[in-house]
Chain A
Amino acid sequence: MSSSLVDSPSPGPETGFAPPEGAGQNHYTVTPKTGSNGSMDGDVLEISMGPQHPSTHGVFRMDVVLDGETVIKLKPVFGYLHRNHEQIAEGTSYLGSMPYTDRLDYFCSLTNNWAYAIAVEKLAGLQPPERAEYIRIITAELTRLQNHTCLAGFMLMDMGALGTPLMYAFREREKILDLFESLTGARMMCNYMRFGGCRVDLPAGWLDQTKRVVENYPRFLNEFENLLSSNEIVMARTQGVGRLTKELAINASITGPMARASGVDYDLRKVDNYGIYDRFEFRVPLGDHGDCYDRYMIRILEMRESLKILDQALKDIPAGPVMDPKAKLRAFKPKAGEAYGRIEAPKGELGFYLISDGSASPYRYRVRPPSLINLTVLEDMCLGQTVADVVVILGSVDIVLGEVDR
């Protein structure tokens, strides 16, 4: 991603890598210093991080050009996990792509389901009943909780805290995945939402179990914050690292916690009011600096807001059906037209764009993946930082390669 709109950290004149005239800020011509006998000094080191590097969150590669320890160029290379998601969806029925959406961002299958369901519901004119909307919000906020918990763990692991924070995070996540399993049948590949509602109603006792998990969650968050938020090593490694300016965040259409950490007040739950989010009281936390610490902190604060939404939703959930009576499972053919359904997924704005030609499968199916678009500013955040910081910055972006590559 190159942008001439903002100042990005300059490598300085002494490195010998000045940007060429007329090129954007982030393009550097590599002119290696040569010795007196014409041999290269070997100052510039080009390394390939990935595709199997443990900190790349999947099969993802970064071509990094280093001057000493400083990053002067970074090129993300992805596509290793490409599995033709959009083309497959254009060849299968509308219902048939629902389980494939689970595999986009495999941490948050329920929010992926929801975004796709919203797009198809707009296309077919279906309206989910009240109880289904509440179930959707409860599952989506639980998804947000477990995604952000894991992210904090992974980010700390990228910093070198091997194990402890991640294991604590996974322990809590497992309690939420247990809820998902008893509701949908699967821990991660839930395949739960349907066009016009949800597949099954809540099992007996599920709401009480959820209430218990939600009640105990703040205790875990306090512990987690005690462990990390004021830790001097964490602060030294994250504060001022990988700064993303507000202007660049807006220009590069960054969404989600990453944009909010840079101070962009944009949360689809407030802006778009999809579902019934306008009935709930919650705040949108915003960051000041746009560095890695803010991105970590935003997620912790968002989890506390999610708990507020969950408290209200679990109290207010009405009885009733969970499926629109007009919805049908087989031979589902929405009328010709187009629709764009979007939600605030834990990673950012997740959108599904569909064009229907009146047949049983979509004519065009396009995903707007938040991970991929948030990844485009990776170079801008990494320039001028050390190679060890690249790993932390990548961790703070929160990518899942299933969604980046599709």
Chain B
Amino acid sequence: MLGTGIIKGMAETARNFLGSYTSEDRLPTVQYPEEKIPAKENARSFPFLVHDRNDAEMGLRCVACLICEKECPPQCIYIVKDTIKKPDHTGKLQNHPKIFDIDISVCMSCQICVEVCPFDAIKMDTAFEFSTTDRFGALLLHKDQLAKSNEHYQKIHPTEAAEVDARLTGETAKAEAKAKADVEAKAKAAVEAKAKAAAASATTPANV
């Protein structure tokens, strides 16, 4: 009979309409500005720079190696090296970025900077509400805007941050152990040298 298909379709829309009052499956939307769906753990929006020790300037993990600048496909990162140096998590002196800018109007959120960074210094944020009336200046993020603490990173990507922290702590412990061993070896060497010198001074007069 002509029209049965349409009636069947109408029954379907009615089921969906009534179902939207009872079933979460049929009404998945939320009223956005008032209510927000929490970001997924892996979600990514734009990069930020991780810093430790609550020091947004000298605590930056970035060592201005320029790898991310080179690998960035749309070339939205701009870095200038500073002349001063700062110690990294192993205590070694490293370079420091004087300027670190990311133009997030060009950035395409591909995460390649994060993947190529050998120092775990740049990570992806989950913030996405960047709309502004200033088209150019406000979307060019500088070093002080990009720097965010490690606690922030632990909060937005807990699993990933735990891995990174474990690795870095391991490296720090190793470096400390090595430094300690170095100090001990040095002390031992000094003691030995002293003993040798003493022995030499003790034996020399006898020979003369």
Contact = CB atoms under 8 A, between A and B. Distances in A.
Interface of A: 92-93, 95-100, 102, 164, 168, 171, 174-175, 178, 181-186, 189, 191, 199-200, 203, 216, 223, 226-235, 329-330
A227 B206 CA distance: 112
B73 A181 contact: no
Q: Chain B interface mostly helix, strand, loop or mixed?
A: helix
Contacts of A181: 40, 42-43
B169 interface: no
Contact of A97 (B15, B43, B73): B73
B8 to A, nearest CB: 5
B40 A182 contact: yes
In the A-B complex, the 5 residue pairs with the closest CB atoms: A99-B110, A230-B5, A185-B44, A96-B73, A231-B5
Interface string B26-69: 10100000000000111110000000000000000000000100
Given A96-B71, A96-B112, A168-B16, A185 B43 contact: yes
19 contacts: A93-B71, A95-B71, A98-B112, A99-B112, A102-B110, A168-B16, A171-B28, A175-B28, A183-B42, A185-B40, A186-B109, A226-B8, A227-B8, A227-B13, A228-B9, A230-B4, A230-B8, A231-B5, A329-B116
Main SS at interface, chain A: helix
B166 interface: no
B115 interface: yes
Contacts of B71: 93, 95-96, 330
Contacts of A171: 26, 28
B108 interface: yes
A100 B74 CA distance: 9
B122 interface: no
Given A92-B73, A203-B42, 9 more contacts: A96-B71, A99-B108, A99-B112, A182-B42, A199-B115, A226-B8, A228-B9, A233-B6, A329-B116
Contacts of B11: 226
B199 interface: no
Nearest to B108: A99
Contacts, number: 85
B192 to A, nearest CB: 45
Nearest to B1: A232
A339 to B, nearest CB: 21
Contacts of A100: 73
B200 to A, nearest CB: 53
* Residue of B2, B40, B108 with most chain A CB atoms under a 10 A cut-off: B40
A182 B157 CA distance: 12
Contacts of A182: 40-43
Contacts of A178: 40
B25 interface: yes
B129 interface: no
Nearest to A181: B40
A231 B6 contact: yes
B149 interface: no
Contacts of B15: 223
Interface in B107-160: 108-112, 115-116, 124, 159
B12 A223 contact: yes
A223 B12 CA distance: 7
Contacts of B8: 226-227, 230-231
A169 to B, nearest CB: 12
Contacts of A168: 16
A185 B115 contact: no
A181 to B, nearest CB: 5
Contacts of A216: 25
